[in-house]
Structure 1
Amino acid sequence: MTRATILIVDDEISNIEIMNAVLEDDYEVCFSTSGEQALETARTTLPDLVLLDVLMPGIDGFEVCRQLKADPLLADIPVIFTTGLGDTADEMRGLSLGAIDYVTKPIQPAILRARVGNHVELKRLRDQLANMAVTDALTGLSNRRQMEKALHSETGRLARTGDWLSVIMIDIDFFKQFNDTYGHPAGDRCISMVASALTRAVKRASDLSARYGGEEFACILPGADPHGAQLVAQEIKLQVQSLNIPHERSQISPFITVSIGVASARCLPGMAADQWIGHADRQLYQSKHGGRNRITVAEFDNTAEYCPT
């Protein structure tokens, strides 16, 4: 299991050294000596927990906590304040800003170790639950909810540079007939095998593959133009064909095949993310009604649908 990362924030190097000595055997430890540096380090390392000093020159711990909790990327990171104040009002202020605990100075090693351990484990369990909520249980791919969330995020990000975005929609051909012939357990195995083929075909870390629903899948390809997206779609088709899953009731092949629709456009500010889904779905419709087991690609004109913010 990967070791959790702890970010220690304190303007006193001696305090950092004490806490590091307590935690370094069990965690990856990084540190910052100012509030400004802490925010930058948090964004680059995404720690599992922050030990945050209250009294610091410049941005104090309260303001650092407020900014952490206001950032969607960092808001779920638990914050434990480290302070020698012992003031109930300050504790209440910190908790109201989103901190989960306090550790008083001078540091008691056993208490620090126990509290950090408890909160790191709680975060691990929360992360597992959050991951389950956006993962398809049968295939292990992202589910539709996560796919739509990622698509919204990518359109916003790519709009800043006017870069390409492509979406691929995939449907297993004659899947109802497959279920009727071989049974639903075999249908589930077929879906899982196609999902594995999809994972082998969609290789870039920035890409996302999802089970969109039933026997339908989708892929988000940030930065991929129509030609690049078509190459990925062709690889998906080949990977599915290589599975050689028998399908005696298919009208086009003795084995499982897929129909694929691809939509590509450059991102502009204010564009609705679901435009890509709608256009890719229309291309999928063309593939299915054009004989199935084929790919249809289209670059859509986003200027007609552009709604500047």
Structure 2
Amino acid sequence: MSWTDMALNGRILVVDDAMENIQILYGALQDEQEVLFALDGRRAIELARSQHPDLILLDAVMPGMDGYAVCAALRASSETRDIPVMFVTALKSPEDETRALEAGAADFITKPINAAVVRARVRTQLTVKRQADALRALSLTDPLTGVANRRAFDERLVTEWRRCARAGLPVSLVLADIDHFKMYNDHYGHPAGDACLVQVAAALRRGAGRTHDLVARYGGEEFAILLPQLDAHGAEGVARRLQDELAQLDLPHAASPTAPRLTMSMGIASQVPREGQAPDALVVSADARLYQAKDAGRNCYRGEAPQG
């Protein structure tokens, strides 16, 4: 990605209680960026959580929840803390700018704005944000398989749990373990085992399907498939697709006592989270059902209505 690519086509959230100020910023940015707007602080926080803007342009002085309170709330939430905030305000004193920066702002622009200056500084913030996002993505990716790593799963589980709790929607989890993988490594060698993990991870990605589903390497030969906004019935449908994708790989496993080809066992759990409730129980439940699948002879899944 070039510097120009990084600086353009961002999603910008403009927050100001005066529509004329929003229109001025929209006019300055619309040719290069997608522009959303909010007229108050609480609506701004809602949009930041639901629309995931790349940058927020925030007025400092607003009735009710002012810009400083909005910035502090954004910084306090794991869902929004990485979104850079640029204050655009009529306040001009060094003390006001210092207060904004101490609240977590990345930049401070005074009104009346100069359109060219705003565009340039927005481009700079988008470039920095996308470079940081790229580095963060590397830190959250399993280097062998290219899917998310355990850290990414843990972070995403908390985020989706809270989001679904607010909306009253279910979260489902599939824990999948390659059957007799140690025997596979012993029989075919570790390079073949690594190649196997790469192919299995790709198959799981295809089986999960939706863009907001997460496939993560949970540890060793175990994978976690996080399915936000999907109930137990839907999660079992995903488990069947995962089995089909693995069967299509048709990887030989001559050392397996379960089948002559590579197979997986899976445990499925689903829950509608409640505000303030930790997601640990979902993982514990999926893990328990994974062991049920193994006790049932492997190469199957177990969920709320055991079958496989």
Alignment TM-score, normalising by the size of structure 1: 0.80
Q: Give the length in aligned residue pairs.
A: 300
Whether the 8 Å CA contact 1:264–1:299 is kept in 2: the answer is no
List per-residue Cα deviations over 1:19-60 (Å, max 9, x = no partner): 434333221123345545544544443321122233445544
Partner of residue 303, structure 1: none
**Whole-angstrom distance in 2 between the partners of 1:265 and 1:94:** 40
Matched residue type, 1:256: L
**Whole-angstrom distance in 1 between the partners of 2:29 and 2:113:** 12
SS at match of 2:249: coil
Matched residue type, 2:226: I
Partner of residue 235, structure 2: 229
> Offset of 1:6 from its aligned partner?
1.9
Residues 93, 227 of structure 1: CA spacing in aligned structure 2 closer, same or farther, 3 A cutoff?
Answer: closer
**Whole-angstrom distance in 2 between the partners of 1:130 and 1:96:** 23
> Offset of 1:288 from its aligned partner?
2.9
Which shows bigger deviation, 225-234 or 20-29?
Answer: 225-234
List per-residue Cα deviations over 1:201-230 (Å, max 9, x = no partner): 223455432211111112234455554433
SS at match of 2:235: helix
Aligned ranges for residues 1-309 of structure 1 at < 5 Å?
3-11=9-17, 15-35=21-41, 38-56=44-62, 59-155=65-161, 165-205=171-211, 207-222=213-228, 224=230, 226-264=232-270, 267=273, 272-298=278-304
Matched residue type, 1:132: L
Whether the 8 Å CA contact 1:265–1:299 is kept in 2: the answer is no
List per-residue Cα deviations over 1:182-209 (Å, max 9, x = no partner): 3323222211211122122223455432
List per-residue Cα deviations over 1:249-278 (Å, max 9, x = no partner): 223333211122334556566655333333
Which shows bigger deviation, 15-24 or 255-264?
Answer: 15-24
Residues 154, 29 of structure 1: CA spacing in aligned structure 2 closer, same or farther, 3 A cutoff?
Answer: closer
Residues 41, 261 of structure 1: CA spacing in aligned structure 2 closer, same or farther, 3 A cutoff?
Answer: closer
Whether the 8 Å CA contact 1:263–1:299 is kept in 2: the answer is no
**Whole-angstrom distance in 2 between the partners of 1:59 and 1:265:** 34
**Whole-angstrom distance in 2 between the partners of 1:140 and 1:112:** 37
* Structure with greater Cα Rg: 1
> What residue ranges of structure 2 are gaps of 5+ in the alignment?
none
**Whole-angstrom distance in 1 between the partners of 2:200 and 2:298:** 16
Matched residue type, 2:120: A
Partner of residue 306, structure 1: none
Which shows bigger deviation, 169-178 or 56-65?
Answer: 56-65
Whether the 8 Å CA contact 2:78–2:159 is kept in 1: the answer is no
Q: Identity percentage over the alignment?
A: 46
**Whole-angstrom distance in 2 between the partners of 1:61 and 1:161:** 26
> Offset of 1:122 from its aligned partner?
0.9
> Offset of 1:117 from its aligned partner?
1.4
Matched residue type, 1:202: A
Matched residue type, 2:290: L
**Whole-angstrom distance in 2 between the partners of 1:156 and 1:36:** 17
SS at match of 1:250: coil
- Root mean square deviation, CA, Å: 3.2
**Whole-angstrom distance in 1 between the partners of 2:163 and 2:140:** 21
